[in-house]
Amino acid sequence: MKIAIAGASGRMGRMLIETVLNDPEATLVGALGRADSPQLGRDAGAFLGKETGVALTDDIERVFAQADYLIDFTRPEGTMVHLEAALRHNVKLVIGTTGFDNAQKAQLRAAGEKIAIMAAGNMSVGVNVTLKLLEFAARHFAAGYDIEIIEAHHRHKVDAPSGTALMMGEVIADALGRNLDECAVYGREGVTGERDPSTIGFSAIRGGDIVGDHTVLFAGIGERIEITHKSASRLSYAQGALRAVRFLAGHPTGFFDMQDVLGLR
């Protein structure tokens, strides 16, 4: 599997590089960084004390010409540039980027008619199993329970709520027959009045080096149920990304998510 990594000098990018290098079936063929990165020109494995022969570069065309797959955990604007290159070079995409707007999401889905794409706000097996638990729980707590989603991430995360929190909200809203765009409440301040029971609330915490904690609270009268997932390492995301690469190997085109990869749909 000839794999290139986008955002290769970042925290997630480095974890992806390490995971690819440790997989005997995978070959690192490209490492993309931003044009202003001080790491450009350095070996992609330097942070591990390894020589890979792959230098960090901002030359998108060269990287895509060598790769069969690109794993991308960057920002929406960068991912959309990579999407255009993937279409030119027929490279399959594994996308862990979050924060896309509706127009960008539509572009990604449309591109699935020409290349294979797996996009997910979270690629860990645990989170995706948690989504199935939330779907089940939401159906049974449809009446009489208020639903709140609380997430916490490190101080460097730039978008809120997290992609995983939004995935959880979408799963719950779908199970309840609601539209998340219409029922979501993102934070509260001042005199807000009584809580609307049809809403799904979101709260975001940012601090320190928290990798990713997510709790969904179903609060009823006399009891509350909490379903929580906590990530201690980015390794689970990287391992999920490689599972997605293997999944895409059997699909020339299509738009998929981790529920498809894991056979949970």
User: Measured between alpha carbons, how far is 121 from 127 in angstroms, rounded to an integer?
Assistant: 10
Plot region of 224 (φ>0 → left; ψ -120 to 50 → alpha; else → beta): beta
Residue 153 appears among annotated catalytic residues: yes
**Of 260, 250, 150, nearest to 210 (Cα)?**
150
Cβ-in-10-Å burial (0-12, 13-18, 19+) of 16 comes to: buried
Q: In this structure, are residues 144 and 220 in contact, taking their beta carbons and an 8 Å threshold?
A: yes
Cis ω for the linkage preceding 197 (within 30 of 0): no
Report the alpha-carbon distance of residue 71 to residue 47 in Å, rounded: 19
Element (H, E) at 224: strand 224-231
User: Is 82 designated active site?
Assistant: no
Active-site choice (92, 153, 214, 229): 153
- Residue 3: strand, helix, or coil: strand
- Choose the catalytic residue: 89, 132, 157, 251: 157
Token pair recorded at residue 39: 């790491």
Catalytic positions, written as ranges? 153, 157
